[in-house]
Amino acid sequence: MHKAEARWWSAAPAGDVLCGLCPRQCLVPDGGSGFCSARRNISGKLFSISYGRPVAIHVDPIEKKPLKKFLPGTSTFSIGCYGCNLSCLFCQNHHLSRGVYGDDETTEFVMPERMVEMALRQKCASVAFTYNEPTTWAEYMVDIAKIAKRSGLATVMVSNGYVSQTAAKDIFPSIDAANIDMKGFSEDFYSRLATASLQPVLDAMILYHSLGKHLEITNLVIPGENDSPEMIDGFLDWTAQNLSKKIPIHFTAYHPDYKFHSSPPTAPETLRKIKTIAEKRGFSNVFLGNVF
């Protein structure tokens, strides 16, 4: 099994390790994995078992990430692995986020240098870390990003933003543009439907924006769960106060998937109404996704 020693961890008693990558701060026993399934304790050391083991590689339009205001009209070399540090009942990409590497995994090992070579061969303008949660394989992401930047390629991260501030301060400087998914503007929503917390996501967006990087935000709108006027207004208030009304925001239609089927697909009219509200409040870059 290919693996690389992880960063952002410390030894704990009895052979356990404490992972500091995300707010979960998983205490991982010897032989066990963290919540994300992508980091494993092997003989008292934490390893990234997704390092060099991509399970999805595609060339995408940059707009598909979605990024509307970063290198428009270009292609991005998109990479994904297995694992996620959230557990969203409504996950729209669960075949990757809930995927697990086995000890007999036959996935081809791909060094960071080769990833960049492939991106250049495909004439892409950037490399995108996407599909599953890329911070769970942050070591691989950062190593690829460093080589990509030396080769003249931009770097893109599509993330849930659920990362510790310590790790984020190491990861974010390597990333030129990010789309961070703000799943619902309430702690209750995150607790019930994602087994997580909203505040670390907000903190990550503030940190990334403070670095002068290009940030866009996506909100998957789920009827009856995160589409109330109070929740949308709260999100827009927070964005105006802590980021900027110029930040591109993507309101995207939900469809029933994975373990959540309680809500119907998002009506296009719901998204159009939200877009109108945001634009009336002075937001200048509001986009709708999955609306046909």
Q: Which fold has domain 56-289?
A: TIM Barrel (3.20.20)
As beta bridge partners, residue 155 has 127
- Among 84, 245, 255, smallest CA distance to 158 is for 84
| pLDDT value of residue 98 | 83
- Cα R_g (the chain), whole angstroms: 19
As beta bridge partners, residue 221 has 253
Query: What pLDDT, in 10s, does the model give residues 188-204?
Result: 999 999 999 999 999 99
Query: What pLDDT, in 10s, does the model give residues 149-173?
Result: 999 999 999 999 999 999 999 999 9
Looking up tokens 């693996």, which residue turns up?
3
Q: Where are the domains of the chain?
A: 4-48, 56-289
Q: Is the pLDDT reported for residue 1 higher than 80? A: no
Other Cβ atoms closer than 10 A to 224 = 9
CA distance 140 to 4: 9
DSSP-assigned letter for residue 173: G
| pLDDT value of residue 291 | 87
Query: What pLDDT, in 10s, does the model give residues 96-130?
Result: 888 888 776 667 899 999 999 999 999 999 999 99
Query: What pLDDT, in 10s, does the model give residues 249-271?
Result: 999 999 988 888 999 999 999 99
Distance of CA 229 to the CA centre of its chain: 26
Other Cβ atoms closer than 10 A to 292 = 4
Angle at 117 between CA 113 and CA 122, to 5 degrees: 150
